[in-house]
Structure 1
Amino acid sequence: MASTSTSGRGEEERDPFLVLEPPNKKIKSSLTAKQYDVFINHRGPDTKTDLALPLYNSLQQAGIRTYVDAPETELGDYFPSAIKNAISSATLHIAILSPRYAESAWCLAELSLMFQTRARIIPVFYRVQPSDFRYIKNEVADAFRKHEEKEKEEGRYTKHDIQQWKECLENVSGIKGYEIKEQNE
């Protein structure tokens, strides 16, 4: 399995999912590659019920092939491969950024891969301010302190991974998107 790819700018990009792969990388997926129009990136405990699944259902009803992990990943699918395929095939990504979004290495790895595909990303700032991500402050800063501790203690992530995640959050905060301040707004 290749760990890097060459970007259009002549530099190598590390596969953001390497930090999530099990030590035995010989796992093969029985996944049949599906094509999606939209990939919804979100932190499940924060937004799945209130925002991600209702959005998914609306898009599906409109005939738009949409990926959200729970309804789209089938039994027996290798989860990292299913997500990589969905992100790579989608022409539009929706990133739902929530108060605890940055705690999830999965969310951050997905966002990094979304940027690598160069497809359009629409951010939805759900009960957060874009500036929290632009300047890595408040809950976002707390989450990165924890990632840095894991990097030192467990070697799970590299400094490069953490820096790449920060850059992705800073970049996504500069994209015109939606702000949802309260659940009923």
Structure 2
Amino acid sequence: MALSNFSHEASSSSDSNHVWKVFLSFRGEDTRGSFTDHLYEALNRRGIRTFRDDEELRRGEEISSELLKAIEGSKVAIIVFSRNYASSRWWLDELVKIMDCSRTNGMLVLPVFYDIDPSDVRNQSGTVAEAFAGHEMRFQSEKTEGWKRALRHAANLSGWDLQTLANGEKKIFKVSS
């Protein structure tokens, strides 16, 4: 789906329960200054109100209530999976909340696999497995199992694998006049 098709779908609903049309989830160290900045700008150019957390460094132990409200108040979540996305419990907690909103509120979730194979996310292999090796030493298995379920569910959704698209970013940002 090109951005022009997505913008029509995202704009077609006038559901007043949504403060944001899109919640953009990404690991800043991996994609800030490149893909997610381009995506954010393209969505805004199309008039799609998009929430992007600009915090460079996460503080505290839990997702802030403001961030939870932004997730709950969004119609669509775009999750940009990257090599190090699963290395942060913060993003994994964010993912669990997004997938919960998908199940309970009908939030549309669109995964983008940027510089990572979707099967690594789905099966928790490669860099995802490395991240979980550390998580499993630090956190209860109930917490890590919830993260794994959320990763599998999100990776099974229809989305974009930028590794297999020729000129992947150009196809995503294609905007018709």
Does the TM-score normalized on the shorter chain lie above 0.5? Answer: yes
Q: 2:122 aligns with which of 130, 134, 139?
A: 134
Contact kept in structure 2, 1:52 and 1:68, CA below 8 Å:
no
Which residue matches 1:11?
none
Answer yes or no: is 1:60 the counterpart of 2:47.
no
Contact kept in structure 2, 1:123 and 1:176, CA below 8 Å:
yes
Gaps of 5+ in 1: 1-33, 72-78, 152-157
Q: Secondary structure at the match of 1:67?
A: strand
Partner amino acid, structure 1, of 2:46: A
Q: CA deviation at 1:124?
A: 0.2
Which residue matches 1:121?
109
Matches within 5 A, 1:70-85: 70=54, 80-85=64-69
Q: CA deviation at 1:184?
A: 5.5
Contact kept in structure 2, 1:122 and 1:176, CA below 8 Å:
yes
Q: Secondary structure at the match of 1:122?
A: strand
Partner amino acid, structure 2, of 1:87: I
Gaps of 5+ in 2: 1-17, 56-62, 169-177
TM-score computed with the length of structure 1 as normaliser: 0.70
Work out the percentage of aligned pairs sharing the same amino acid. 32
Q: Distance in 2 between matches of 1:53 and 1:67?
A: 12
TM-score computed with the length of structure 2 as normaliser: 0.74
Q: Secondary structure at the match of 1:45?
A: helix
Q: Distance in 2 between matches of 1:54 and 1:106?
A: 23
Q: Which is bigger in relative contact order (C-alpha 8 A, separation at least 6)?
A: 2
Which residue matches 1:167?
149
Q: Deviations over 1:96-130 (max 9, x none)?
A: 00011100111111110001112110000001111
Q: CA deviation at 1:160?
A: 1.3
Aligned length: 140
Q: Secondary structure at the match of 1:53?
A: helix
